[in-house]
A and B are shown apart, each in its own frame.
Chain A
């Protein structure tokens, strides 16, 4: 059974082609990494799966309403809310505008905070947090939605070692728990941890297990010359992306 399915999916921004005829099928409970150069359509694909971008043509099917985790730089730090408030927002879709939080809702919120190691920061305003801590808050917010599909837009980019490790562990646990995760990344090593890798360059270059997709001939099609192999390690040499991998 598939958690996500797209058929001939094409997205345009005005006259600019952002996604070109992408057809994929993601099995339930699998972890998928989307990788490709800047501007290849990673975020566009995630947002189309999330339902906030309408495709120019083609179809999208997702198992239930997905939860989305954006980069911490995409949220408004000026809003005066605590870590607990921000994580609890994940329950809003379930509770609607007026229904009160039940003990079970708070238990879900506290479990997510504990798993992301932010429970000791529960009462701290979010503008006092580091980038890594804020990213963990957003992942916790995504978990509390209890959606069967979790979409994450570069959740590990630019994070400190501790936050990276905590988020990666949580994503592994989610996979074991049967949740489907789709994560965009610029990091080959992170992509290799996933069950499936989707190599994107506006069109679909390759989709399958990491050892079949992350091959040099495929990477050349997506990245041109902007990657290198040192021993068994693949390194991205993307002039528009300053993170070393």
Chain B
């Protein structure tokens, strides 16, 4: 009976598409967990949410034009990320409202284009909700490269990013180029969303960015430890979610997000008073 169960559990690993999907989901979870720490601590969750929706517009436009979707959505995401960064800095209107307009309009454009013209390269439903079937070996290499660049950038910029996160004005006075640091963070975020889109789906990526970071914040009061915990939790969430996706026959995005939500409930329940005090610190900070 146990042997049958283990066989059943291991069956998806026989398929190349699943192995590719599992690698991408695990690395994507780790990548989103790492970047998510900065997203959460800098109150950029809404930006992450909006940016992921916005990239769908680029996906649809690229698909329509017959351009490589990563290239098209990447350029689109880059432009949106820089636009959001500019709006957030200059605040010509409330930044939340501006982000809402830019990103929702882009998402709506994507939906309209898909409805009118359909998609040629990729499945729009996979882009929206995540689907393991959409993952190729090329996607695996792409996410590995993006993750390596992200980790390297965060290691080299660790002090700059921490200083800007803690106190941007003093960081700038101390010689940190805050605008450039913010732009780099936005680009990393856009790249992470882009390479995560296929397994998570643009509608659910925000959870992959936020949940591991919040769990890590529940468990530690040290920034470097938070980065490590969020990365590990993100990877675990991706791996467990992918397996559940196969066995429950549900799209990978929802299972990964629900796995993250379950881990959050566990962490919240077992982190005790200290964990809740850390979360209250986040609540009062902005």
Which residues of A are at the interface with B, using a C-beta cutoff of 8 A? 47, 50-52, 65-70, 74-82, 85-86, 89, 92-93, 95, 97-98, 125, 127-128, 141, 145
Q: Report A96 CB to chain B, min CB distance, Å.
A: 8
Q: Is the pair A80, B226 in contact by a Cβ cutoff of 8 Å?
A: yes
Residues of A within 8 A of B169 (CB): 47, 52, 68, 70, 74
Q: Which residue of A lies closest to B282 (CB)?
A: A78
A82 to B157, CA, bound (A): 20
Residues of A within 8 A of B175 (CB): 65, 93
Residues of A within 8 A of B223 (CB): 79-81, 85
Residues of A within 8 A of B104 (CB): none
From 82 to 114 in chain B, residues with beta carbon under 8 angstroms from any chain A beta carbon are none
Q: Is the pair A81, B220 in contact by a Cβ cutoff of 8 Å?
A: no
The verdict on B173 contacting chain A, using a C-beta distance below 8 Å, is yes
From 156 to 201 in chain B, residues with beta carbon under 8 angstroms from any chain A beta carbon are 156-160, 162-163, 165-167, 169-170, 172-176
A67 to B172, CA, bound (A): 11
The verdict on B66 contacting chain A, using a C-beta distance below 8 Å, is no
Q: Is the pair B173, A68 in contact by a Cβ cutoff of 8 Å?
A: yes
Q: Is the pair B163, A98 in contact by a Cβ cutoff of 8 Å?
A: no
Residues of B within 8 A of A86 (CB): 166
Q: Is the pair B221, A80 in contact by a Cβ cutoff of 8 Å?
A: yes
A77 to B283, CA, bound (A): 9
In addition to A65-B174, A85-B222, 17 A-B residue pairs with Cβ atoms within 8 Å of each other are A47-B169, A51-B173, A52-B172, A52-B173, A65-B175, A74-B167, A77-B284, A78-B281, A80-B217, A80-B220, A80-B223, A82-B221, A89-B162, A97-B158, A125-B278, A127-B221, A127-B278
Which residues of B are at the interface with A, using a C-beta cutoff of 8 A? 41-42, 156-160, 162-163, 165-167, 169-170, 172-176, 217, 220-223, 225-226, 277-278, 280-282, 284-286
Q: Is the pair A145, B174 in contact by a Cβ cutoff of 8 Å?
A: yes
Q: Is the pair B170, A68 in contact by a Cβ cutoff of 8 Å?
A: yes
A80 to B275, CA, bound (A): 12
Partner of B160, one of A69, A97, A145: A97
Residues of A within 8 A of B170 (CB): 68-70, 141
Cβ contacts A to B, 15 pairs, < 8 Å = A52-B169, A52-B172, A65-B175, A68-B173, A76-B285, A76-B286, A77-B284, A78-B41, A80-B221, A80-B223, A82-B222, A97-B159, A125-B278, A127-B285, A141-B170
Q: Report B39 CB to chain A, min CB distance, Å.
A: 12
A67 to B173, CA, bound (A): 7
Q: Which residue of B lies closest to A153 (CB)?
A: B169
Residues of A within 8 A of B285 (CB): 76-79, 127
A217 to B192, CA, bound (A): 62
Most A C-beta atoms less than 10 A away, residue of B159, B175, B278: B159
Residues of A within 8 A of B172 (CB): 52
A74 to B171, CA, bound (A): 12
Residues of B within 8 A of A47 (CB): 169
A92 to B159, CA, bound (A): 7
Residues of B within 8 A of A78 (CB): 41, 217, 281-282, 284-286
A97 to B184, CA, bound (A): 15
A75 to B166, CA, bound (A): 6
A92 to B226, CA, bound (A): 21
Residues of B within 8 A of A79 (CB): 41, 162, 165-166, 223, 285
A95 to B176, CA, bound (A): 12
Q: Is the pair B173, A66 in contact by a Cβ cutoff of 8 Å?
A: yes
Do A81 and B167 contact each other (CB < 8 Å), given the known contacts A76-B286, A98-B156, A127-B278? no
Q: Is the pair B281, A127 in contact by a Cβ cutoff of 8 Å?
A: yes
Residues of A within 8 A of B220 (CB): 80
Residues of B within 8 A of A141 (CB): 170
Q: Report A169 CB to chain B, min CB distance, Å.
A: 23
Q: Which residue of A lies closest to B178 (CB)?
A: A52
Q: Is the pair B167, A77 in contact by a Cβ cutoff of 8 Å?
A: no
A145 to B167, CA, bound (A): 15
Q: Report A87 CB to chain B, min CB distance, Å.
A: 11
A81 to B42, CA, bound (A): 14
Q: Which residue of A lies closest to B161 (CB)?
A: A97
Q: Which residue of B lies closest to A66 (CB)?
A: B173
Q: Is the pair B163, A89 in contact by a Cβ cutoff of 8 Å?
A: yes
A98 to B122, CA, bound (A): 42
Q: Report B139 CB to chain A, min CB distance, Å.
A: 32
Do A76 and B174 contact each other (CB < 8 Å), given the known contacts A81-B222, A81-B223, A92-B159? no
A89 to B173, CA, bound (A): 13
Q: Report A245 CB to chain B, min CB distance, Å.
A: 26
Residues of B within 8 A of A68 (CB): 169-170, 173
Q: Report A113 CB to chain B, min CB distance, Å.
A: 17
Residues of A within 8 A of B225 (CB): 80
Q: Which residue of B lies closest to A128 (CB)?
A: B277
Q: Which residue of B lies closest to A85 (CB)?
A: B223
